[in-house]
Amino acid sequence: MNDSSIFTILIIIIIITLIAREFWCWYWKQNKIVSLLESINKKLDNYNMSLENNSITPKISEEKISNIENKVDEAVLQQNSTKNSLCKVVSELDKIYKLYKDEIYSEQEFILEKKQLD
């Protein structure tokens, strides 16, 4: 045999070895993933069975829940009333500004009107 054929055979053996190694690692990796998924599934089944056997009771009483809901409702109502009053003030200021801008008021009248709102 000449040197080129030995070199070619050596390269082919190396390539086959690398391909076989990649396949082997991929195969074991897939098996490991499958076994992990099976163990997760088994643990989830056990957990599900334990939940079905035990009745879960809420830790917060109905009275506390209704109390919390009432406080939330009060806070929302308070926020809405504050929002409405702010909208009224802004609309009044906007009217005064438009009148001043149209030069209906003098600067002193504008300041007096603004003080009355405050």
118 residues of the chain, pLDDT tens digit each: 688 899 999 999 999 999 999 988 888 888 888 899 999 999 998 888 877 776 555 566 777 777 777 877 777 777 777 777 777 777 777 776 666 666 555 666 667 766 776 6
- In this structure, the number of other CB atoms found within 10 A of the CB of residue 8 comes to 11
Return the structure tokens found at 50: 């334990």
Taken in order 90, 92, 95, 99, the sign of the CA dihedral is: negative
Q: Within a 13 Å sphere around the CA of 52, how many CA atoms are in the beta-carbon half?
A: 6
AA letter at 95: K
pTM for this predicted structure = 0.33
Put residue 57 in one of left, alpha, beta given phi > 0 → left and psi -120 to 50 → alpha: beta
C-alpha span between 23 and 26 (Å, rounded): 5
- What is the C-alpha to C-alpha distance for residues 118 and 116, in angstroms, rounded to an integer? 5
- Asked if 117 and 92 touch (Cβ cutoff 8 Å), the reply is yes
What is the reported pLDDT for 78? 78
